[in-house]
Structure 1
């Protein structure tokens, strides 16, 4: 990432955490981080990266398997041995020069293969360093099972033989340690291993606050990621599991402030996209954010409330005459149950009370038929059309490409019913930034 390479990384101090869901649902937390002057000029909707690292336990066990546990402190530099590459840009710019072996494996390399499963090319490299015939034969069977050189290590795309026990013990997406443990005679040199391992990528989050309302602080919301693979192995998100592990020190009354001050995050802000709060708050808005997708819109609403309160202090927002007025703002939020995972419930209710927005909720599991945000959009079709024709902007944010497609399809259906040349209008809205979506999977 350019931001990391340019040295714009800073340390943010975690100052507060709260759990936002009840027991029985996916755990969601809000984290508040002190960022100091780094937050100046940031707007609601801006996003930032957190540079995560592999756990001490995983790295220690890997160093033992590689027989590098006694030399892990040694520093090294990577250099190409090919003359044709000596003048090229660095091949391993995610690994700092003169870093220790431990730091490279802990901070720079994706030893858990979180971004993608190990490739066929990676397995072929391991095969090259297997000395035992049995290991070589079993690893060859794995490689033959791949449907193509770039296929992931997946039972859906690979017909692995079921006879050898070590193959059946390998998970859907094995970690580096699991692979090396399955083939004990493999002695791949560190240099070749670092050449093959993918970089450990930052994890990105959107600000959920207006930094002028909460100076020098960034708030963000995250779900603790955990899931069972197709072979019933529990996997946890690298960054979210670390962040969630900080929560007990903020929830326990016995935790000292000294303990809490130890929690820092290596962070950097991303270049600004178009997905930020509009400066002119007199224009209407539609904000569609089910689940954690509501987070950046809390910052949007704080921004609008702050402007409204400023007007009122100056006598510009109340009384007779040409007073200033916020544009209509419809917020569509969705979750399973209002008692279990209604995120930012108090904040949204307060914003509605202050006249900043109107909140329309879809609680999918509170009735026999599931209800989602796009169903609520259809119910409010007349208001949606009015906002669009009044030059309003539409922002969509959330987890899951399906949600975004359903919202887009519903919006296009509404346009088609109420606009003559709806396709041209839709194209103009998307190209000019009047319809923006930020979706992750």
Structure 2
């Protein structure tokens, strides 16, 4: 008997063949006066065959800043129309387009700088390589810095681009549930801007999304499955989510999914940012979920609203008794966001809470948390 299920044809779209997703909405979630800019972007997946589950990521293949590309061409007096090889197979692109769309130009690697030293007589660069100072130099610097700092170059454009890596895709936690938003995918992206080594720096993908793409434009995307960050199989299970800043993204997807499927399990969200008046991302949605019961508890920490800075881990401590009761009763615990500080602080606070409320030694509390991790009940999506 022949199967009637014709919709199981695999989608042709992937990392190597991304789907051109149309931007339906692109808004700043932060209020006026905020020191941050967080874009909420809604993309159409219509006719793509792409699907995802809460916890998955969306890969975006970005383009470099045209101003940075123009500065490189100007610095080196290169002809932007001259063809350069972009692959071992000999595929070529005009230089400007190759720098814009194909190569990573905002990050340097140690290997790259070492190879670049062969292309110049600049003593300072040879000394840097010889004395193992490359690692320190590349921190916060890009291709333009390298070309400006160590000329004159006795190299063609082709020789310089041969040093470059292919532009890697940027992965973002998906901020929507496909059940709640059929044929759509939403992202929550913090715009990255900072000054380093006397120059303004911009995140490649985040600033493309914040400044250079409008509603109606398209972005090349693909779905990246995330097997280590998913809702519990049973909708009866309680979930505790810690997601300050853009770490809220996958939890918006978790809550949407649970609301649309009427999951009976309880949900508790810890969210934090700088100021409640300007940085409470998705505030009205979250308050609505509280009213509807899709969100059982919502604890917020706004670090700039008080004399003493309050973060999500402080809110966890304030609720330590109830938090441990939820976990000991089978709740799943999720963390999403900054790996450097937040995730570490939340991890240590979790051990403190287990130690205190569970009446355990430090070692026993750590073992308890390791056990949760092995059961898949402590999951982290940190970057």
With structure 1 as the length reference, what TM-score do the two structures score?
A: 0.75
Matches within 5 A, 1:175-214: 175-214=142-181
Distance 1:30 1:210 in 2: 14
- 2:293 maps to 355
Distance 2:198 2:148 in 1: 19
Q: CA shift at 1:431, angstroms? A: 1.5
Match status 1:48 vs 2:2: no
Matches within 5 A, 1:115-126: 117-119=108-110, 121-126=111-116
Distance 1:307 1:43 in 2: 13
Q: Which runs of 5+ in 1 are unaligned?
A: 80-95, 155-171, 250-259, 309-324
Deviations along 1:209-261, whole A, 9 cap, x unmatched?
A: 111111111111111101122x34221111111110147x5xxxxxxxxxx32
Distance 1:276 1:369 in 2: 34
Match status 1:24 vs 2:34: yes
- Of 313, 321, 336 in structure 2, the residue corresponding to residue 382 of structure 1 is 321
- Of 92, 98, 102 in structure 2, the residue corresponding to residue 108 of structure 1 is 102
Q: CA shift at 1:136, angstroms? A: 2.5
Q: Which runs of 5+ in 2 are unaligned?
A: 1-11
- Of 246, 249, 264 in structure 2, the residue corresponding to residue 295 of structure 1 is 249
Q: CA shift at 1:414, angstroms? A: 1.4
Q: Contact 1:39 / 1:217 at 8 angstroms: preserved in 2? A: no
What is the RMSD of the two structures over their aligned residues, measured on CA atoms? 2.6
Distance 1:394 1:387 in 2: 9
Q: CA shift at 1:343, angstroms? A: 0.5
Match status 1:340 vs 2:269: no
Distance 2:86 2:265 in 1: 57
Q: CA shift at 1:141, angstroms? A: 4.0
- 2:195 maps to 228
Deviations along 1:18-55, whole A, 9 cap, x unmatched?
A: 11112232111101111124465411221011111223
Q: Contact 2:321 / 2:357 at 8 angstroms: preserved in 1? A: no
Q: CA shift at 1:359, angstroms? A: 0.6
Distance 2:143 2:228 in 1: 39
Count residues with an aligned counterpart: 365
Deviations along 1:136-183, whole A, 9 cap, x unmatched?
A: 234334435544xx62415xxxxxxxxxxxxxxxxx644323433444
- Distance 1:24-1:356 versus aligned 2 partners, 3 A rule: closer
Distance 2:16 2:168 in 1: 16
- 1:245 maps to 211
SS of equivalent residue, structure 1 residue 204: strand
With structure 2 as the length reference, what TM-score do the two structures score?
A: 0.86
Q: CA shift at 1:62, angstroms? A: 3.3
Q: CA shift at 1:305, angstroms? A: 0.9
Q: Report the structure number with the largest CA radius of gyration.
A: 1
- 1:424 maps to 367
SS of equivalent residue, structure 1 residue 276: coil
Q: CA shift at 1:436, angstroms? A: 0.6
- Distance 1:64-1:5 versus aligned 2 partners, 3 A rule: farther
